[in-house]
Chains A and B, each alone.
Chain A
Amino acid sequence: MVLYDSATLGGSCSGSSSSSSSSKPPPLQQRQQTQQDIDGLLAGAGYRVRSSELRKVAQRLERLETAMVNSPADLSQLASDTIHYNPSDLASWVDSLLSEFIQPPNCPSAFIMDAETNQTVVSDAWTTAEPHMPQVHQNISYEQQSLNNQLTVDNQLTVVTAMEEDSGIRLVHMLMTCAECVQRGDFSLATSCLEDMQGLLTRVNTVCGIGKVAGHFIDALSRRIFQGIGGGSINGGSAYENEILYHHFYEACPYLKFAHFTANQAILEAFDGHDCVHVVDFNLMHGLQWPALIQALALRPGGPPLLRLTGIGPPSPDGRDSLREIGLRLAELARSVNVRFAFRGVAASRLEDVKPWMLQVNPKESVAVNSIMQLHRLLGSDLNRNSPIETVLSWIRSLNPKIMTVVEQEANHNQPGFLDRFTEALHYYSTMFDSLEACTVQTNKALAEIYIQREIANVVSCEGSARVERHEPLSKWRTRLSGAGFRPLHLGSNAYKQASMLLTLFSAEGYSVEENDGCLTL
């Protein structure tokens, strides 16, 4: 999962990556194009520094070291309280640390800078058990070398499985063969593949590992072959069913909790100092994200703002107004913690049917737009009209939100070629299932698995407007969102730390949070 935050756009991209070992899903990442001036060797080490700025950065590092040595009290504060941002941007990281120190007007006498040899004398002012505090002379200096070492970094596909059983390997082989037949249109061969695979399945452990996920892919392939690409009935699950499955997925693994938590942090920070705030939730579901935000706002120093929540969701078929019910429960909670709260539900079967006027945004309020795994559904292109994603992003922009938080699966499931998509999905969902297994939370995981299974079925057996699970990687979302006029805001070490700590609460062995160019990834 990648969390991507911005002033006008907060983007959280989440979702398990397709890279991992059986229980650790590191992210599928895409490095940005290296600009011409960037030092290639440092880029390989994960740092972006312009060659032309190297000397300046070096000088500031020296200054930072001096400051750190001369004021140990500030140092411990720097270590514990300061929020660090985007360490890859070394220049700004060093500058931000430097700005934490109160600069004395004159250089302290213990500091002598010899400009010629860049020799620095610093006094070692740390207190330790050792009484002896040596004067240390730093002899090291540097010389500029111009090196042109461009690294080409392309799309990264990461995959891991640990397959011991021969049958497991054969199963994967056959899945790939079958998918290839499907892509070529050779359905008779594909069908016989399917039969072989069904047979092989009986000899493989389908309770866990490759056997389990293979079963779902075999189902999806068979659906595609026999029912055609209209999607079968898997997407026809009622809104009610979907909500239940979603809730179980939420409980069984950390992805959604991480996403909600980090998005809420970002929203909270964006709303700091604002008294009238309005959150627009693109997919309310059971409103699981909002109690925590309401409580956090209640505890805000200076008191809570007036909070409006607009929840978008599918219409309820049977006369119930489920949106309103959720709204009422949230209002109840808000009342209990003294947060002035107003809720409004907007029923729409598709996000592209929502028009901005339905949200009734007041120009005086600060708006947060929150989209959890909804934007990718807009990526199906219909040649007859404007691409829905552009339309929606444009009206979001026109609302001029203070922040937009976006959560998406970090996967590449929207490629035009079927075999490519199939392969990616096989990697990705194998990992997902593995990661689910790694969670020690005591819940019934079966329904969470069905939730995932539905995604698989959609990616594999649907096309056109029926295929809504069009996941795209972080880099594409970065580009798309920038193009729509949104600016990225970096998530810092405080958000990182809290997210990491949250993971330990969920007994999530093998999960870890990583920082990547201002984004957080699970």
Chain B
Amino acid sequence: MVVPLNTWVLISSFKLAYNLLRRPDGTFNRHLAEFLDRKVPANLNPVDGVFSFDVLIDRATGLLCRIYRPATPEEPEPNIVELEKPVVGDVVPVIIFFHGGSFAHSSANSAIYDTLCRRLVGICKAVVVSVNYRRAPENRYPCAYDDGWTAFKWVNSRSWLQSRKDSKVHIYLAGDSSGGNIAHHVAARAVESGIDVLGNILLNPMFGGQERTESEKRLDGKYFVTLRDRDWYWRAFLPEGENRDHPACNPFGPNGRSLEGIKFPKSLVVVAGLDLIQDWQLAYVKGLRKAGKEVKLLYMEQATIGFYLLPNNNHFHTVMDEISEFVSSDC
């Protein structure tokens, strides 16, 4: 099994750094985490046709998000006045993105996620809103979901994000790892509140359960991830005393809830064949199908976690093409 050298170096260095940050007693070395995380500022100067700026959505919780917009030919150098200029187009997709990090790591301004979001703007001709949700263990369930919901409502109420066709905001939810998990739960809340979500894009979404699945046993420690670290992150995120069959972790498990009869959006779920939690991700897909929800599964057999962070492998390009098609099919 082979990954490109630079990918290996990147993911391995994350892995080792993260080992230093998780303490056996369940606390987290946040200072060192923030020190080590490579971040980038927002940039009003378009780079490859995309510019970005940060917005405070909720002062009470300090909820920030970073907005990425395509630069238009008429206004190649946006100005302070132009930031919230209405989007131009009959249909402009707005992707609300939740970064990964197993609920504990990374931020909206982490370099790897800034890069990914910029790419999404390009391939989907979308506005991307990356949410800097509160992280575990300092902020357990349901903080991340609440922040996701706050961001969702904010996006939905921006007149400048409305598509001309129907004066509505065309929202997609996307995320990788824990971000994928958040996207699912925010989607559920949205549709329950009667707001449409056009689609969910889940990249290696983080799900789990009490049971030890076959993939977990087989792949434990083989491809950058161990079961022990997965357990640690769930313990850090879930309410104290809860186990991994909590619906946040296992939405179609014993404590889960069927989505039958709910207008849940279509989903694009990407599963890496070398990800030890794939059995849970596949169970998620199965749960969606059982409830009659439209879902496309992309099973990338030879992919490891984080394959979508660097554009140096075929899985990357395949997935980006699929995402582009998934978002553009609503016109």
CB neighbors of A among B266-290 (8 A): none
CA distance A39 to B44 in the complex (A): 25
Partner of A79, one of B23, B44, B112, B309: B23
Say yes or no: B9 contacts A42, CB within 8 Å: yes
* CB pair A138 B222 closer than 8 Å: yes
List the B side residues contacting A23 at CB < 8 Å. Answer: 56, 59, 62
* Contact between B112 and A45, CB atoms less than 8 A apart: yes
Q: Which of A62, A64, A144, A496 contacts B5 (CB 8 A)?
A: A144
Pick the contact of A136 from B1, B39, B226, B309 — CB < 8 Å?
B226
Asked if B8 and A142 sit within 8 Å, CB to CB, the answer is: yes
Expressed in whole angstroms, the Cα–Cα distance for A198 and B250 within the complex equals 59
Question: B17-46: contact bitstring with A at CB < 8 Å (1 yes, 0 no)?
Answer: 101110110000101101110111111110
In the complex, the answer to whether B34 meets A513 with C-beta atoms within 8 Å is yes
Q: Is the CB of A22 within 8 A of B43?
A: no
Answer whether residue B245 sits at the interface, using C-beta atoms and an 8 A cutoff. no
Residues on the B chain within 8 Å of A438, using CB? 59
Tell me which residues across on chain A come within 8 A of B47, comparing CB atoms. 152-154
Task: Indicate if the CB atoms of B34 and A57 lie closer than 8 Å.
Answer: no
Residues of B within 8 A of A79 (CB): 20-21, 23, 29, 32
- Cα separation A19 to B54 with both chains bound (whole Å): 8
Q: Is the CB of B32 within 8 A of A497?
A: yes
B318 in contact (CB, < 8 A):
no
Q: How many chain-B residues does the 8 Å CB contact rule pick out?
A: 63
Q: How far is the CB of A294 from chain B (nearest CB, A)?
A: 27
Chain A residues near B112 (CB-CB < 8 A)? 45-46
18 extra A-B contacts, CB within 8 A, seeds A47-B38, A68-B19, A514-B34: A19-B54, A21-B55, A44-B111, A46-B40, A49-B9, A55-B5, A134-B221, A139-B223, A145-B4, A145-B6, A147-B4, A160-B83, A161-B80, A176-B79, A430-B80, A497-B31, A500-B34, A510-B62
Cα–Cα distance between A94 and B45 once the two chains are bound (Å)? 34
- B312 interface residue (CB < 8 Å to A): yes
Neighbouring A residues of B210 by C-beta, 8 Å: none
Question: CB of A169 within 8 A of chain B?
Answer: yes
Q: Does A405 contact B (CB under 8 A)?
A: no
Digitize A11-28: 1 where CB-to-B-CB distance is under 8 Å, 0 elsewhere.
000000101111110111
Interface check A487, CB cutoff 8 A: no
**Chain A residue nearest in CB terms to B43:** A156
A332 on the B face (CB < 8 A): no
Contact partners of A75 in chain B: CB under 8 A: 19-20
Q: Is B311 an interface position by the 8 A CB rule?
A: yes
Q: Does A289 contact B (CB under 8 A)?
A: no
A-B contacts, 22 of them at CB < 8 A, read A20-B54, A21-B55, A26-B39, A29-B40, A41-B6, A45-B112, A58-B9, A58-B12, A78-B20, A79-B32, A126-B228, A137-B221, A140-B222, A143-B2, A145-B5, A158-B42, A158-B54, A162-B55, A430-B80, A497-B31, A497-B32, A497-B35
CA distance in complex: A90, B228 (Å): 26
A141 and B12 CA atoms in complex are apart in Å by 11
In the complex, whether B204 has a CB less than 8 A from a CB of chain A is: no
Q: Which residue of B lies closest to A43 (CB)?
A: B111
| 6 nearest A-B pairs in the assembled complex, by CB-CB distance | A46-B38, A136-B221, A21-B56, A142-B8, A46-B111, A497-B31
A218 within 8 A of B: no
Indicate if the CB atoms of B42 and A26 lie closer than 8 Å: yes
A residues less than 8 Å from B23 (CB atoms): 76, 79
Instruction: Contacts A19-B42, A161-B83, A169-B81 given; indicate if A143 touches B5 (C-beta within 8 A).
Output: yes
Q: Is B84 in contact with chain A by the CB < 8 A criterion? A: yes
- Per the bound structure, the CA–CA distance linking A410 and B144 in Å amounts to 32
* B-contact 0/1 string along A368-381, CB 8 Å cutoff: 00000000000000
State which of B35, B54, B226 has its C-beta within 8 Å of the C-beta of A87. B35
